[in-house]
Amino acid sequence: MSNKSTSILLWIISFILMALLAIYQRTTGPTYPVKGKVEMNGKEYSYKFLRTHDTGIDAPFEMKVPENVQGKLRYKRFKSNDDWTIVEMLPQNGIIKANIPHQPAAGKVQYEVKLTDGTQTYNLTKEPVIIRFKGAVPEYILIPHIFFMFLAMVLSLRTGFEAFFKRSDTYFFNTVTMSLFLVGGLILGPIVQKYAFDAYWTGWPFKGFFNFGDLTDNKTAAAFLFWLISWFVLRQKKENRTWPIAATLMMLAVYLIPHSMLGSEIDHTKDDATQTQPTEINK
């Protein structure tokens, strides 16, 4: 196979792997909705529990049900001493609906829904679902952030292949990857964080030397550090393969950790008296 054909093949493989990782990131983690189906009156009905929503707006729960089915939504703030609030949901035109009261940025609410047809009770989830509220991020910030991060992933994989097969452009690809990750992860990333949770950085060491804080910030910093070290090593020794491959593996590890795991959250148990109480839910 010619050098050009090999290069094209490596690009194709890198893009395919990036797409698979993007799907994995999209469908895992604590922000992906909980979806399912329940059989009632011999027919299946779908439901969806949101797990992330913009602050300032109540999060909706809505579901089609048979006319003889009623529901109860039960909720309370996560990590709080609140009592459970129960809201009755009566079907209107075959639909039951209710709202989960919005919270400050990083505030969480745990909630669950139970349905009954008078003789049988249907628990839609085994345990309460947790939804986290966040500030709205402008698209002109969010879209470039996502673009640079996934483009950095493509270049990261391409760099790893370049190093593994002992090709000549490892340093060039390492430089581009590091630059993309710098822009997407360490410049645009904190701006996104500021809009969403009113803090530019919530990872180590800003929460204290022995408190590692937000996992997303920490894994971003770790991945960039590996690319930075690899870049310095390649500046001195272009034929080095160990560090660019290690940086690629670190980047893969970062993207295999579901997005927003161990993210920012409010612990209401520390000072319930000063925290905003949930508003009355709308039916």
Q: Are residues 40 and 164 in the same domain?
A: no
Examine residue 73 and state whether it is found in any structural domain, yes or no.
yes
Q: Is the pLDDT of residue 165 over 90?
A: yes
Residue 92 · residue 84 · CB < 8 Å: no
Pairing between β-strand 52-54 and β-strand 129-134 as defined by DSSP bridges: parallel
Nearest residue to 280 (alpha-carbon basis) of 109, 91, 102: 102
CATH value at residue 44: 2.60.40.10
Q: What is the pTM of this model?
A: 0.80
Per-residue pLDDT reduced to its tens digit, 222-265: 899 999 999 999 999 999 999 999 999 998 888 887 765 556 77
Q: Are residues 23 and 56 in the same domain?
A: no
Q: Are residues 59 and 196 in the same domain?
A: no
Average pLDDT over every residue of 194-214: 67
**Predicted local distance difference test score (pLDDT) of residue 257:** 78
Diameter of the chain by CA atoms? 75
C-beta pairs of 214-220 under 8 Å, 24+ apart in sequence: 214/262, 214/263, 214/264, 215/257, 215/261, 215/262, 215/263, 216/259, 216/260, 216/261, 216/262, 216/263, 217/189, 217/193, 219/253, 219/254, 219/257, 220/185, 220/186, 220/189, 220/254
Q: Are residues 113 and 161 in the same domain?
A: no
Q: Are residues 78 and 156 in the same domain?
A: no
Task: Quote the domain boundaries for residue 88.
Answer: 34-136
Per-residue pLDDT reduced to its tens digit, 25-63: 878 777 889 999 999 988 999 999 999 999 999 999 999
Q: Are residues 252 and 141 in the same domain?
A: yes
**Predicted local distance difference test score (pLDDT) of residue 22:** 84
Q: Are residues 60 and 103 in the same domain?
A: yes
- The amino acid present at 207, given as its one-letter code, is K
